């Protein structure tokens, strides 16, 4: 038994040395969603609190994200989230991708699929009120209806 615990501790310590890339890419304002649409302050706050950690290059890593293997799971979510939708790189998306992203955003916010429920447990500010969800939806609807998408 002691031996098993010893090896668990050794492996746990060893994996802490496996690097996880937590460096955010610099923000290019001309591609940045909130700069492109001059997003109002209240909506920006909702996006930053609830979405940006996984869907932008402005990720703020929580303390628990520095400990392996949790750090790997966190980085996986971030990589995957950015792949689907990265607000920092909005300017590089063509119209079809933008339309699709807006549609999916409306759906996932409405269905409460986003922000990821597991994330909300550790980020109370991401636990959006009904009002905040409605504001976010209305904002994305207004962009959807904007011909200059
Ligand atoms: C903890 C990380 C995390 C947070 C926070 C988060 N997402 Fe996601 N998001 C993901 C991951 C991972 C995926 C891809 C897998 C999936 O759909 O579950 C995703 C997928 C998406 C998709 C694409 C869905 C599809 O089927 O194409 C949209 C749109 C989206 N998120 C919007 C949002 C919005 C809007 C917020 C904030 C209100 C948000 N997400 C917050 C991790 C996150």
Residue keyed to tokens 């990821």:
116
Tens-digit pLDDT profile for residues 80-131: 999 999 999 999 999 999 999 999 999 999 999 999 999 999 999 999 999 9
- What Cα–Cα distance (Å) separates residue 78 from each residue in 92, 94, 118, 120? 19, 22, 13, 15
Rounded to an integer, the average pLDDT of 135-139 is: 98
Residue 34 in contact with ligand 1 by CB distance below 6 A? no
pLDDT at 147: 62
pLDDT tens sequence across 37-91: 999 999 999 999 999 999 999 999 999 999 999 999 999 999 999 999 999 999 9
State which ligand 1 atom lies nearest to the alpha carbon of 100. 27
Ligand 1 centroid to residue 35 C-alpha, Å: 21
| Closest protein CA for atom 10 of ligand 1 | 81
The protein residue whose alpha carbon is closest to atom 36 in ligand 1 is 51
81 in contact with ligand 1, CB cutoff 6 A: yes
pLDDT of res. 37: 95
| Residue pair 126/115 in contact by the 8 Å Cβ criterion | yes
């Amino acid at each position: 038994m002691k031996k098993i615990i010893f090896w668990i501790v050794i492996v746990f310590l060893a994996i802490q040395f496996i690097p996880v890339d937590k460096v955010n890419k610099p923000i290019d304002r001309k591609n940045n969603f909130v700069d492109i649409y001059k997003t109002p302050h209240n909506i920006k706050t909702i996006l930053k609190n609830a979405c940006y950690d996984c869907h932008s290059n402005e990720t703020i890593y929580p303390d628990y994200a520095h400990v392996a293997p949790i750090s790997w799971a966190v980085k996986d979510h971030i990589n995957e989230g950015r792949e689907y939708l990265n607000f920092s790189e909005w300017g590089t998306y063509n119209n079809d991708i933008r339309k699709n992203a807006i549609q999916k955003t409306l759906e996932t916010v409405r269905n409460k699929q986003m922000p990821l429920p597991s994330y909300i447990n550790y980020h109370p500010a991401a636990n959006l009120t009904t009002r905040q969800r409605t504001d976010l939806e209305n904002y994305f609807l207004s962009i959807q209806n904007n011909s200059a998408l």
